[in-house]
Structure 1
């Protein structure tokens, strides 16, 4: 095996093993321990973060900031990856904001000149626009890390009614309409709830609190695990063709949508009672493109808002 190929495979091996001894690597690659020591030294000079531990149980270990091995991308793949990351610039807050900016800069600077020229030409020809919001989302990293590590987080949450501390176990985070949301198990309510991340005033992990086993719960199925059905209501809304288009972006994650062959459709499913004020304002904004059939509470809320609106112009 050539030295360059051995170094490449060695880089992938140490990233996979995380902790190892020189003798283990020497046996695996069929070379002397002296050769492996020289190879590890070269990997360290290339930026692979290694450190050694002495003693009978010592060896080498890779730090958390691991370096991925080189990956060969085609020109089309490189352009696609660049613009996928470039689109995130419209979000003022990301759970990995600094890392995304650094990665994009590295990716761009190491591209061949002609590929960079092509990207520069495309920057003003393609974009992925998201609504600009004044809200801030400083705790996205804490929430995402807790969701991945299965940890409990204590947050100070500001709702319309009050501001209170809650212990939650995040399922994940997602962006919609320029806002970030966090579905989580709320230990205060003993059920799953959806939290708006801009209303989270503080967030800190509580490693001493025993978390629930939510490994099977994710962003796609968390609503199926809501236990308190009394907090939900059955919803049915008729939509015109334009109404379907207007609802797709805003409500696709809230209520199941069904589209007919002619392009019209309807929303049918359960909604949390806490979302009725938002949905009332939203459907009023759709005008004739949406007709709410149920729940009655939503219809009454819309009538109330329309009455107040008419009163302003009398």
Structure 2
């Protein structure tokens, strides 16, 4: 086997293994221990972070922040990867902010000059619009790690009604919508699944109170699936074609829509009665593209808000 090919396969092998011994690699590649030691030295010089442990149970190990082996991209794949990361630039906070910037820089700097010129031209012709939000979400990486590891977190969460309050949650997933980050989690205070705005999470750290995490397995809950109705009321709304399009743009609302053949639609679902002020503001914003038929409490809330607006602009 040529040395260059052996080094490439050796890099993939050591990245795949948690720990290994020189003799194991020598047997696997059919070379001497001395050859493997020289190859490992070359991999270390190329940036693969190896360290050795002495003793009868020692060996080599790759540190956690290991370097992935080189991957050959076509020009189209490289451009696609560049813009996949470039599309995130409107978000003030990302789970891997520094790493995303580093990856984008590597893609750009290591491309041939003509490919960079092509990207520069495309950046002025294509964009991924996301609202620029002022609030930071500094705990995204902690929330994501807890969701993957199924850990309980102690957070400080701020709301208009209660101010800042400490809670215990077990994150399920995080997602971005309309420029904001959200975290679906089991809330031990409310004994149910809730959706938290990540920019309202002031602090997040692994809980040390001894609360046992739930066995969530591969559960992946959306906002609609996670919401547990405390005060269920029946939401009934008629929507024009334009109203349907506006509602389809809302991640939390889209699963509730029913479409007709002419493009119009309607909503006929149970929702949480505690969210009536929110629904009132939302459907007022749709103007004549939505007609709320129920519940009556929502219609009354809309009338009250419109009356306030008439007084303000009267």
Same fold flag (TM > 0.5): yes
Tell me if 1:196 matches 2:186: no
SS at match of 2:275: helix
In 2, distance between residues paired with 1:17 and 1:113? 37
Contact 2:248 2:254 in 1 (8 A): no
Contact 2:194/2:226 (<8 A) preserved: no
Question: CA distance change for structure 1 residues 183 and 270 in 2, over 3 Å: closer, same or farther?
Answer: farther
Superposed, 1:124-139 pairs within 5 Å as 124-139=124-139
Q: Deviation of residue 255 (structure 1)?
A: 4.4
Q: How far 1:261 sits from its partner (Å)? A: 2.0
Measured after TM superposition, the shift of residue 287 of structure 1 is: 0.7
**1:215, distance to aligned residue in structure 2 (A):** 2.1
Aligned to 2:99: 99
Q: Is the 8 A contact 2:133 2:179 kept in 1?
A: yes
Partner of 2:219: 217
Describe how 1:143-182 pairs up with structure 2 within 5 A: 143-162=143-162, 163-182=164-183
Deviating above 6 A after TM superposition, structure 1's stretches of 4 or more consecutive aligned residues are none
Per-residue CA deviation, residues 49-85 of structure 1 (Å, 9 max, x unaligned), is 1111111111111111111111111111111111111
Distance (Å, rounded) in 2 between the aligned partners of 1:57 and 1:232: 61
Structure 2 length as normaliser, TM-score?
Answer: 0.93
Unaligned segments of structure 1, at least 5 residues: none
For 2:4, the equivalent position in structure 1 comes to 4
CA shift, 1:252, in A, is: 4.6
SS at match of 1:172: strand
Partner-residue secondary structure (3-state), 1:66: coil
1:308 match: 308
Partner of 1:267: 267
Q: Deviations over 1:243-286 (max 9, x none)?
A: 11111112455642222221111234343334322221011010
Q: Could you tell me the TM-score, scaled by structure 1's length? A: 0.93
Q: Which aligned pairs between 1:1-314 and structure 2 lie closer than 5 A? A: 1-162=1-162, 163-206=164-207, 208-220=210-222, 223-224=224-225, 228-252=228-252, 255-314=255-314
How far off is 1:120 after superposition?
Answer: 0.7
Question: Do the aligned partners of 1:257 and 1:266 also contact (CA within 8 Å) in 2?
Answer: yes
Any idea what SS the aligned residue of 2:204 has?
Answer: strand
Q: CA RMSD in A?
A: 1.8
- For the Cα contact (< 8 Å) 2:91–2:130, is it kept in 1? yes
Residue 296 of structure 1: how far off its partner (Å): 3.2
**Aligned mates of 1:154, 1:104 — CA distance in 2:** 33
Task: Pick closer, same or farther for the CA change 1:234–1:215 going to 2, 3 Å.
Answer: farther
Distance 1:252 1:224, change over 3 A: closer
Corresponding pairs, count: 312
Structure 1 residue 102, shift from structure 2 partner: 0.5
Shift of 1:142: 1.1
